[in-house]
């Protein structure tokens, strides 16, 4: 199994999908598949036989594998890894999928004040080393990585489908968006093949299609504290996505200080704040990326939602249980 860079970007909460069946002709089918360092779980309500449903769902899992083969920075054979090893000034031919993800990422980069940084692979490498050695990077090495971790260091030629580095140290890292992007593609495939009422969960991301039969929406239960005894938050979704981000479980301690697995591209270090973020949007790629961005920006991150229609968010301070929500978050949560 190839792993995407979600060892650092594994999202924190557990999701439970409540879709009670209301009709004898429809049946609930669930399937799981390991990919991108997590488990993709597909739930489908359908009148089709299980064999027919499974055939379609297995093809969607193949899509997930194809995306992993493109975006993983753990596999030396992936498209992203091959680009990362490329020198500066040399155009690299890219696939339509990578071009699409780069286009989405570029928009997010500009609209989130560069808190979403898909070119932060050099920092990711340093932070992986810090997790192993329990030591922070030296300042010179860190400064070089911060400088290289900049989307502006990339030249995207959409016409010729090429990508070129300006800085040889620049490396791609789609850990903050690839799962959501992949789940979007899976959902599109399922719905194109008449599996309209379906959901896909992958780590801290859940993307849903039409609601279960007889229901107005899917109910997603979120536990931002990572504790089964803690109070959960519920959101109501139909043809939408929800993602979480935080450091309840994924953190390291260096010199007595806790650092999150989420890296701030401005200083190159893991976050030291103790909060969780929940983002709801119309696409998994959006909710996935924005959950990380708002984690980095904190309370001020709610302002970037002005650039993203149909998107709401909540920030939970895990020290005092205080919750800050965007204006319409309560309309989709209970």
DSSP-assigned states of every residue in 149-209 = --GGGEEEETTTTEEEESSTT-B---TTTHHHHHHHHHHHHHHHTT--EEEEEETTEEEE-
Which residue(s) pair with 314 in the sheet? Answer: 278, 325
Q: Where are the domains of the chain?
A: 75-165
pLDDT at 248 over 90: no
Residue-wise pLDDT tens digits, 293-311: 999 999 999 999 999 999 9
Which of residues 252 and 12 earns the better pLDDT score? 252
Choose which CATH entry (3.10.450.50, 1.10.150.670, 3.40.50.720, 1.10.3980.10) describes domain 75-165.
1.10.3980.10
Taken in order 283, 284, 287, 292, the sign of the CA dihedral is negative
Give the whole-angstrom CA distance, residue 102 versus residue 65. Answer: 19
Q: CA–CA separation, 7 vs 18, rounded Å?
A: 28
Structure-token pair, residue 17: 């999908």
Which pTM value belongs to this model? 0.91
Are the C-beta atoms of residues 170 and 150 closer than 8 Å to each other? yes
Kind plus residue range of the DSSP H or E element containing 227? none
Range with the poorest average pLDDT among 41-50, 216-225, 295-304, 312-321? 216-225
pLDDT of residue 319: 82
**DSSP summary character for residue 333:** B
23: pLDDT strictly greater than 60: no
């Amino acid at each position: 199994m190839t792993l995407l860079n979600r060892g650092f970007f594994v999202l924190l909460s557990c999701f439970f999908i409540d879709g009670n069946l209301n009709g004898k002709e429809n049946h609930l089918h669930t399937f799981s598949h390991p990919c991108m360092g997590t488990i993709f779980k597909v739930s489908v309500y359908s009148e089709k036989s299980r064999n027919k449903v499974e055939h379609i769902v297995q093809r969607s899992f193949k899509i997930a594998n194809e995306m992993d083969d493109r975006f993983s920075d753990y596999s030396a054979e992936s498209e992203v890894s091959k680009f990362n090893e490329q020198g500066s000034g040399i155009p690299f031919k890219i696939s339509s999928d990578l071009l699409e993800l780069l286009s989405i990422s570029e928009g997010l980069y500009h609209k989130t004040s560069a808190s979403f940084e898909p070119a932060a692979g050099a920092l990711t490498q340093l932070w992986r080393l810090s997790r192993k050695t329990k030591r922070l990077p030296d300042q010179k090495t860190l400064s070089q990585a911060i400088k290289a971790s900049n989307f502006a260091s990339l030249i995207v030629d959409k016409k010729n489908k090429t990508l070129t580095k300006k800085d040889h140290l620049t490396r791609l890292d789609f850990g903050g968006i690839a799962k959501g992007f992949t789940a979007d593609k899976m959902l599109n495939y399922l719905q194109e093949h008449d599996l309209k009422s379906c959901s896909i969960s992958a780590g801290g991301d859940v993307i849903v299609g039409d609601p279960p039969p007889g229901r107005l929406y899917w109910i997603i239960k979120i536990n931002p504290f990572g504790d089964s005894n803690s109070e959960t938050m519920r959101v109501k979704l139909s043809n939408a996505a929800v993602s979480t981000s935080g450091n309840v479980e994924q953190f390291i301690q260096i010199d007595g200080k806790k650092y999150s697995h989420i890296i701030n591209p401005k200083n190159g270090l893991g976050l030291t704040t103790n909060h969780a973020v929940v983002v709801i949007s119309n696409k998994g790629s959006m909710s996935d990326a924005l959950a990380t961005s708002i984690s980095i920006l904190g309370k001020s991150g709610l302002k970037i939602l002005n650039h993203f229609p149909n998107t709401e968010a909540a920030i939970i301070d895990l020290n005092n249980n205080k919750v800050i929500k965007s204006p319409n978050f309560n309309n989709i949560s209970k």
